[in-house]
Amino acid sequence: MGIDGLWKLVQMAANKQRSFTEIATSEGFKTRPALRAYTLGIDASIWIHKIQQTFVIGHAQTGTNPELRTLLYRLAQLLAVTASVVFVFDSPGHPAFKRGRNVVPADHWLVTDFKDMATAFGFDVHQAPGEAEAELAKMNELGVIDAIVTEDSDVFVFGARTVIRSSMYKDNRKKVSVWTSSAILRHANVKLSLGGLMLIALLVGGNYDGNRLPGCSIGIALACYHLGDELRMRIKALGWADLPMFMDAWRRKLLTTLKEDPSGILGRRYPKLAASIPDTFPNLTIVNLYMHPLTSNFDDMDITPQLCFPDIAKLAQLCEAYFQWGNKTGILRTFRSNLWSGIILRTLLEKVIATDCGEHDKTLNTLLEFRIKKMFPGSVSVLELWPGTINKVVGSALLGVCVVDWESVQKELQASAHFKINIPTVILSEACPAQLALMPSASCWSTGRGPLWLRRIGGLNTTVQVIDLTKDDN
Of residues 288 and 94, which shows the higher confidence score?
Answer: 288
pLDDT top residue among 365 and 434: 365
Lowest mean pLDDT among 53-62, 249-258, 274-283, 412-421: 53-62
Q: 41 pairs with which residues across the strands?
A: 86, 148
pLDDT of 449 = 42
pLDDT digits (tens, 9 = 90+) for 120-135: 999 999 999 999 999 9
* CB distance 427 to 349 below 8 Å: yes
Gap between the Cα atoms of 159 and 92, Å rounded: 22
Residue 267's region, left for phi above 0, alpha for psi from -120 to 50, else beta, is: left
* Top-confidence residue, 63 or 46: 46
Taking residues 67-80, what's their average pLDDT?
A: 94
Position 322 pLDDT exceeds 90: yes
Q: What is the 8-class DSSP label of residue 362?
A: P
Q: In 3-state terms, the chain is what percent helix, strand and coil (to 5)?
A: 45, 15, 40
Closest CA to 246 of 260, 232, 265, 225: 232
Q: Is the pLDDT of residue 401 over 90?
A: no
Q: How many CA atoms lie within 13 A of 45 on its CB side?
A: 22
413 has a pLDDT exceeding 80: no
On whether the CB atoms of residues 149 and 178 are closer than 8 A, the answer is: no
pLDDT of residue 170: 65
- What is the structure's pLDDT at 473? 43
pLDDT at 453: 37
Residue 474 has pLDDT above 90, yes or no: no
Residue 282, preceding bond cis, omega within 30 degrees? yes
* Residue 100 banded pLDDT, cuts 50, 70, 90: very low
What pLDDT is stored for residue 55 in this prediction? 77
- Whether pLDDT at 407 is above 60: yes
Closest Cα to residue 137, out of 124, 125, 154?
Answer: 154
3-state secondary structure of 463: strand
Burial class (CB in 10 A: 0-12, 13-18, 19+), 308: middle
- Are 342 and 422 within 8 A, CB to CB? no
Whether the Cβ atoms of residue 45 and residue 90 lie closer than 8 Å to each other:
yes
Specify the range with the lowest mean pLDDT, choosing from 99-113, 235-249, 273-287, 388-402.
99-113
Domains in the chain, ordered, with CATH?
1-308 (3.40.50.1010), 312-465 (no CATH)
* Phi, psi at 352, each rounded to 5°: -65, -45
Residue 447: which pLDDT band, with cuts at 50, 70 and 90? very low
Cβ-based neighbours of 189, under 8 Å, separated by 6 or more: 12, 13
pLDDT of residue 285: 87
Q: ∠ CA 257-203-156 to the nearest 5 degrees?
A: 120
Sort 455 into a burial class: Cβ within 10 Å, 0-12 / 13-18 / 19+.
middle
Q: What is the pLDDT of residues 177-222, one digit of tens each?
A: 999 999 999 998 888 999 999 999 998 887 776 567 877 887 877 7
Rg over alpha carbons for the chain, rounded to the nearest Å, is 27
Region class of 95: left (phi > 0), else alpha (psi between -120 and 50), else beta: beta
Q: What are the pLDDT digits (tens) for 18-28?
A: 888 899 999 99
**Side chain identity, residue 228:** G
- How far from each other are the two terminal CA atoms of the chain, in whole angstroms? 51
Q: Is the pLDDT of residue 319 over 80?
A: yes
CA distances from 218 to 158, 196, 250 (A): 18, 11, 20
Q: Is the model's pLDDT at 444 over the cut of 70? A: no
Cα(264)–Cα(340) distance, rounded to whole angstroms? Answer: 60
HSE on the CB side for 132, CA within 13 Å? 26
Which pTM does this prediction carry? 0.86
Q: Report yes or no: 22 and 427 within 8 Å, Cβ to Cβ.
A: no
Report the C-alpha gap between 27 and 25 in whole angstroms: 6
**3-class DSSP assignment, residue 175:** strand
For residue 428, what are the contacts with CB-CB under 8 A and spacing of at least 6?
A: 348, 372, 375, 381, 383, 436
